[in-house]
Amino acid sequence: MALLPIITAPDPRLKKVCQPVAAVDGEIRRLMEDMLETMYNAPGIGLAAPQVGVLKRVIVVDVSGDEEPEAPLFMANPELTWVSNEDARYEEGCLSLPEHYGDVVRPAAIKVRYLDRENEIRELEADGLLATCIQHEMDHLEGILFVDHLTALKRNMILRKLLKAKKADKPLASYATA
Ligand code: K1U
Ligand code: ZN
């Protein structure tokens, strides 16, 4: 397994719509494993392929706590098949927008269909942080960042700060940056 550099905003690769994978083969499985290691190392609770510069519809998620056994989820071509009418608000972060946070409202519960690490079709029902995180990662596959759910004022403030930090080549937290 390998640690992959995580791209930080602003970067055009984070705004692209990603392509579906034909199947979860050895190459995609390797990508999933490298993404998981990169996510644990960051540390984070989710990661989408475009964050490591791969414009494919692949995400990994693990919202288990420090005291719990690891519970990684590997998803290719994830699709929402149901969302609740009820919404939930969560203060989100993003490894591609380091040191910035914002309240995002999303459906509180979802059902998601995807191809797993063995190329099997699965459907998962999720709520709480898992539902929030899966939706955040699926947004990345559409080129959408959590700041796109905020007011233009808040979004532009965060993006301006990140651009300034990038221009100054300022190291951001402990994340590996591309
Ligand atoms: O997509 C990403 O950049 C990962 C992001 C996922 C996420 C966080 C919060 C709400 C929705 C989605 C992160 O993992 S940011 C880091 C983080 O939340 C975290 C890090 C260490 C321990 C616990 C959480
Ligand atoms: Zn993110």
Residue 159 in this model has a pLDDT that exceeds 60:
yes
Q: For ligand 1, is residue 41 a contact (CB within 6 Å)?
A: no
pLDDT at 170: 62
| CA separation for the pair 95, 99 (Å, rounded) | 8
Q: Which numbered atom of ligand 1 lies nearest the CA of 44?
A: 14
Residue 3 — φ and ψ, nearest 5°?
Answer: -85, 130
Residue 103 in this model has a pLDDT that exceeds 90:
yes
Catalytic residues: 137
Fold of 12-167: Peptide Deformylase (3.90.45)
| CA separation for the pair 25, 110 (Å, rounded) | 27
pLDDT at 1: 85
- DSSP-based three-state secondary structure for 19: strand
Domain boundaries, the chain: 12-167
Cα of 94 from ligand 2 centre, angstroms: 4
pLDDT at 169: 77
Residue 28 in this model has a pLDDT that exceeds 90:
yes
Q: For ligand 1, is residue 39 a contact (CB within 6 Å)?
A: no
Residue 174 in this model has a pLDDT that exceeds 70:
no
Percent of the chain with pLDDT over 70: 95
The mean pLDDT of 59-79, rounded to a whole number, is 97
Closest by CA to 123, choosing from 56, 84, 78, 86, is: 78
pLDDT at 33: 98
Q: For ligand 1, is residue 75 a contact (CB within 6 Å)?
A: no
